[in-house]
Each structure stands twice: as C-alpha cells, then as structure tokens.
Structure 1
Amino acid sequence: MAVEKLYESDNYIIVNKPYDMYINSDDENEKNTVTFHIAQHDSHLSTSSHPLHFVQRLDYATSGVLCIAKNKSAAARAGKLFEGRHTNKYYLAVLRGHVSFELGDVNYDVGVDPLTAHSSHRMLAVTKKSSRNDQSRAAQTRVLVLETGYYGSDPATVVLLKPITGRRHQLRVHCQSIGHTILGDYTYSDKRDSAPHRMFLHAVRLVLPLPAEPLDIQTSEPFFVDKRFQTQWRSEDIFNKYRTKEALRATCDVIDRPYVIGVKYQSYSAND
C-alpha cells in the first residue's frame, strides 16, 4: 500500500498514512511501515544516516495526516506546539449506533487499563471521580455529528472528532466510554467488531501554526471512496456537510466554536 506525500520542505514531510500500517519498526525486514515507503528502514533511529523525527503518532489501524520532522530543530519547534496544545487536529470516524446529541464534549481522564497494565496495550476512560488515580491524565475530546445512517443493517454515525489533548488511544476510549465504539475497532469492542475490513478512524486535517512555516494539511474524505464501505452504507440524515475539502473546512469551523446555538449539546464528565 503506497504512502502519499501531502507536503515536503527542508524541515518536514507530511504523509497520508494508510490504515493497518506501522509508522516504523526495529525489524529491518518489516516492509509495512511508513519509513520503508518514504525513507530508509532505520530512519527512526538516531544512528541513521538520514534520521527522521516523529513529532506525533498514529495507531497502526488509524489512517491519515502524519507529520514527520527532518531535523532536530524542526522537531523541537513542532513538538512545542503539540505539547502546548497549539495545534488543531481533526479526525473523521464512523461510530456504532446513532449518537443522541449533535455536539458533545467528553472530559474523562485516560489511563492504562488495569487488566492490561502488564502490557499497556489498552487504555481506559475514567468515568467516575472515585476511580481517578495518579496514572490517569486529563483528556478532552469534542464530537460533532455529521451524518447518521446504517452500515449494513446496523445503525451508525459519521462524526468529526477534535482531540483537545493527546493521550494514547484517546479518541477510541472516549468513543467507547459514551457507548459508541468506532466501527471496526477490534480492541475496544472487546474483540467483537471484526467484520469490517478496517477501523474507521482517519486523521483528516492538521493545523500546525509554525511561525516561519505555518501548515494546514488536509486529506480527501477517505471512507466514501472505499467501495467496500460505500456498498455497505445507507444514509439517513446529514447534519453537517463534509465529503468535499471545502465542506470539511467549514465544518471544522463549527466544531471550533465554544458554543453553537440551536444544536443539541451533551457534556460527559466524571463529575456529573
């Protein structure tokens, strides 16, 4: 599966990562990695002759915009923006079930699932104040409903997700915590959702306000160009347009607003 370069300069490479692909690997024989397709297999190592610096991560099953720095100073500049929450990240996702609100904020801490603490494979949203511990960290995700419909015979909802924080598996566990796992998420559906050919989570846009090189990178809508998804989808209601780049940008403006008049809103917090 090819890796599409969306942008390249002396400082950064930004790619559209395919789903079910690693970012890098210590195994020099592993070819299913972003680095294998765009650079040398050992590019993620400091000992490489042309090292790359990954200033963000995407899960193996997640597709979309991935920013990679070509040098340490560029990595530091981008890293400060990510750490200071000065970036804007937008994800498209298809959720199981029909979401009852139109706009929502999920404010559940995220920490390691105690049942898998030995491997740190799974994370857990802390939905009760009494369950908080020193290892869980504050996390916030904004959810905007785009379209409802049916995947096969099952109700489903297309949403735009905006993570305010950047915890491991944050979007996946926050969606699970409100009762709507991401379509095809084998891990957070307790290994039940295995029929879809992929997990439907895609990083569709990244805004990185670098002073000398401001970046606003966006991919095309990834799901409806996939015939395997398209043949399974039956639309019901469209709340916000998103299938063209222009429409998606306008919808990003909606999710960026602190309050949207006339929209059914829901807040989720351990304090509720």
Structure 2
Amino acid sequence: MPTKNEILAVRALRNRKTRLEERKFAVEGVKGVEEALSSGWTVHGLYATADSNAPEDWPAERVSSKDMSRMSTLKAPPGVMAVMGMPDLESEIASSPPAFSLALDGLSDPGNLGTIIRTADWFGVEGIWVSQDTVDPFNPKVVQATMGAIFRMPVWTVDLPKVLGDLASNGAVVQGLDLEGDALWSLKNDQDGAPRVAVVGSESHGISEDVRAVCSEFIHIPGGGQSESLNASMAAGIVMAAWHGAGLKNG
C-alpha cells in the first residue's frame, strides 16, 4: 500500500509546475498504462485496485479504492494508474526538419490537444511543436485524450516563432491555417519534397502575429455551412487527412 506521502506526491502531479519540476506525470486506465509500460519510458510507480482489470502479471502496488480516488483526476477512476518519467524530447529534435509536422499556437483546451496528438499518430505525423502558452502536453486531461498516443508522438514545447523561423530557413514550408488562405483542396505535391509544417492557432484568437510573420503561406478549409469556424482538433484533423490524401506526407 502506498504511504500518505506517496499519495500526496501523486496528487501533486495535477499541477503543471510540479510536473515540470519532478519531470513526472500520471496516466490512468488499462489502455494508457499498457502503452506507458511498453514505451520504454521510466516507470516511477504502478498502482491498481483489487477490483481493477489490470493484468495479473503487472507488478502493480495494491491500493484501496479510496486512495485511488484521492490520486486520480477522474470522477470515476478506472482503478489503474502509472506515474511516468517525462522523456528528454528536446534531445530528440532532429537537426533537419521533420518531413511532416504540426505546430500549435496558443491552444488552451486539453481535450483538443489530446485529440490532435492521437490523430497525428494515426496519420503518421513526425512531431508536434507547441507554443509555450499552449496547454501542457502532460496535463492529465491531455494524456487521457491521447489514448496512449502521447507515448509515440513527440511533442516539443518551444519558442514557436523562433523554431518555425528556423524551420523555414532550412527549407520547410510553414503553412498557417487562416480563413484568408488558399483553399486546402488546391494543395499539390509541388514543393520538391520540402518538409511541411501546418500551423493551427488558438480556438479564440487564431494564429498570433509573431507566428504569422514566419509562415510561408496560408491555407483555409472551405465549408458550405453557417458555422463561423471549426474547433482546433477538427481543423487539424482535416488538414492532416488532406495532406495524407494528397501524398504530401512523404514529400
């Protein structure tokens, strides 16, 4: 059984500052924990209640349902939790731009970010750059929404205008999603294999001026209805699907 201090330490990971200082985060549910255990990332703790559906061969520490509720961020805890170490993703940033990546500027909704990470994993995106004012990729709600994709998809929190400017200088095509841009359906694979970055702005303010300044071009998603806009995760998903369908993923 975990001690009171261990339980408090897990609860403290709800706070972004604590997560960054400790370089740890929590993941809940059999699917997420299964992905975590197979990721090769450091496991700092593995907990399960007696009535959970955790595999019997997992070396999980037994906890009471009451203590699991205290550690969990969910209203109905699934009874399985792992505390994982954050990887040193910055050291994995390639010296040359990824062939196919996303950039997220100022996204605040954890569910949207988690869904984007999961969708990017589906379409084979090679990485996601997020601005420093975007929600923490290791926020519990983000991790939950990724359904394990957080362990496969590199997400780099960076000085976004600087990084995108550097990528553009190295030959990448930085495409900002904007209502005044060219129609997404008109995209063609005519960039001689140049790396591509799609930039999605915040749900309320769009792409910031500093990021707009380093975009190579702008694209928009044509629609025929009356809604003013799409949410960020839906827009990002449509762009990724269009790129994939147009054969742009691999240049």
Which TM-score applies when normalising by structure 1? Answer: 0.24
Structure with more of its chain in strand, by fraction? 1
Structure with more of its chain in helix, by fraction? 2
Which TM-score applies when normalising by structure 2? Answer: 0.26
Larger Rg: 2
